[in-house]
Amino acid sequence: MKSIQNGEGFGSTRGLGTRLVRMRSAAQQLEAASKTLISFATEMASFELPVLDAGCGFGRNAVALALRGISVVCADRRQECLNTLIRFGSKYVAEQGQPDCRVGKLYPMLVNLHPATWPFRENCFAGIVCVHFVSVDLFEMFRSSLISGGYLYLETFGGQGKNYVDLPQAGQFHDLLSKDYQLQFYREKKVGPIGYDAVSVRLFARKCHNPVGR
């Protein structure tokens, strides 16, 4: 009774309002998927194997892919993000999915992705998605865990503030990936102050069946 009098009980207006705000916030976090990524979802859905969302955050891109029939391993090191995904992600997919259309499953995984402790075996993913969490150190791990003909989507963050200091140089990602992938879509945008070599990148690539030099 005390919690109800304080306006915090299950049946209180304040308690209900707080829950609705949290649910609305979670829904907003799950809705803002990368438009460029979603434009390539059909290609990723052509395989039965799951896709890895590396550094998935709250799962906005994973949920969007699941709505298009793709099962996603949602890997992130932040427990609070995965808690939101676990609580709302599958329910959101079930509610937003179209009738008579297959939806994918979400597999949240708490892990700090690092080359020395890479937790995934070779040739186990049909695609790998990495949005706003792009580490060159993981490129070799991505290549190893992608099946031949599998897809890689990378999207760096923009150049707001001093973000540009952590972004690649012009052509860097192109040169690193072109040996092992067919770059089907590649866009760079110059960021940072005049004279500083940095770009934001969006790319979609397919792993070659016979990579050059391997």
Residue 76 lies in a domain: yes
Q: What is the pLDDT of residue 23?
A: 47
Is residue 15 located within the same domain as residue 96?
Answer: no
Q: What is the pLDDT of residue 9?
A: 35
Query: Could you report the per-residue pLDDT of 130-170, keeping only the tens digit for each?
Result: 999 888 999 999 999 999 999 999 999 988 888 889 999 99
Residue 150 lies in a domain: yes
Is residue 42 located within the same domain as residue 17?
Answer: no
Residue 11: other Cβ atoms inside 10 A: 8
Residue 132 lies in a domain: yes
**Which pTM does this prediction carry?**
0.84
Cα-atom radius of gyration of the chain, to the nearest Å?
20
Residues contacting 107, CB < 8 A, separation 6+? 50, 71, 72, 73, 74
Residue 213: other Cβ atoms inside 10 A: 5
Is residue 99 located within the same domain as residue 67?
Answer: yes
Is residue 154 located within the same domain as residue 166?
Answer: yes
Q: What is the pLDDT of residue 27?
A: 54
CB-based burial, 100-127: b 16+ in 10 Å, e otherwise? eeebbebebbebebeeeeeebeeeebbb
Residue 117 lies in a domain: yes
Is residue 156 located within the same domain as residue 170?
Answer: yes
Q: Decide: 203 and 187 in contact? Cβ < 8 Å.
A: yes
Q: What is the pLDDT of residue 62?
A: 96
Q: What is the pLDDT of residue 95?
A: 87
Is residue 19 located within the same domain as residue 56?
Answer: no
The domain of 15 spans 1-31
Task: State how many domains the chain has.
Answer: 2
Is residue 130 located within the same domain as residue 52?
Answer: yes
Ordered mean pLDDT values, 10 residues apiece, the chain (214 residues): 33 42 52 90 93 96 95 97 92 83 93 96 97 92 97 93 90 97 97 93 93 56
Q: What is the pLDDT of residue 94?
A: 87
